[in-house]
Structure 1
Amino acid sequence: MERIDINNEETVNEGKIAAIISHLWIVGLVIAFIMNLNKKNSFTSFYIRQMIGLNLAQFLNGVLIYELLGRTAGLIVGVLLFICWFISLFGAFKGEEKLIPYIGEYFQKGFQGI
């Protein structure tokens, strides 16, 4: 029989709403960050780091990819980023720390202080 870590379950339950809110673009990210300031929640922090990275990637896509490689390349990257966003949002709803494929680990390491 698998043992459930009660502390982890409580952490997820306490941080789930803020983790989901962090997926609502920049405004939701700021709200989740503020919600997480007083009582740090590791689950919420995980998704805040994911969304900071994803928003940064989306910004860079708009500024660099569209400008340097063209509209089609920017659109393809945009669709891939949307799929990553959806995967992350689905993980937050399920209460799992779901890394964004390929780049999620870099976001977790790069924004570790959050």
Structure 2
Amino acid sequence: MENDIEKGKSTAIISYLTLIGAVIAIFMNQEENKTNFASFHIRQALGISISFLLLGYLVGYADSWYVTSAFYLFYFILWIYGFVGATQGQQKSIPILGDFFQKIFKNL
């Protein structure tokens, strides 16, 4: 398990660097280099990025500083939670949406 974490840690960290980082991490985590740790964090990061883009589009129509700032703060907290977990070698799902992301991206 420790070897799996150390082997996949850099891929897991890269996955949190925007949507492009998640796509790069998917390619880094191919068959011969695949680790469960990296796959877990790729699913989390990809889910955060996609939900940010989809929900951000809808929040943009709110035309309210309070709604927009609350959305960005919520997204940033989820991102920090996942990123810190990846750097510390932990596999904890992000609050609220983490288990859902693990289910819908289970093939990664």
Q: Same fold (TM over 0.5)?
A: yes
Instruction: Give 4+ residue runs of structure 1 displaced > 2 Å after superposition.
Output: 69-72
Contact 1:61 1:74 (8 Å CA) reproduced: no
* Root mean square deviation, CA, Å: 1.2
Deviation of residue 74 (structure 1)?
2.5
Match of 2:10 among 8, 17, 37: 17
Deviation of residue 49 (structure 1)?
0.4
Give the aligned partner of residue 20 of structure 2.
Answer: 27
Sequence identity (%): 37
- The 5-angstrom pairing of residues 1-114 of structure 1 reads 8-38=1-31, 39-67=33-61, 69-71=62-64, 72-114=66-108
What per-residue deviation string (whole Å, max 9, x for no partner) do you get for residues 56-83 of structure 1?
111022211221x333313211210110
Give the aligned partner of residue 5 of structure 1.
Answer: none
- SS for the counterpart of 2:29 is helix
Which blocks of at least 5 consecutive residues in structure 2 are unaligned?
none
Which blocks of at least 5 consecutive residues in structure 1 are unaligned?
1-7
Which structure has the greater CA radius of gyration? 1
| Larger displacement relative to structure 2 (40-49 or 72-81) | 72-81
Give the aligned partner of residue 3 of structure 1.
Answer: none
AA matched with 1:41: T
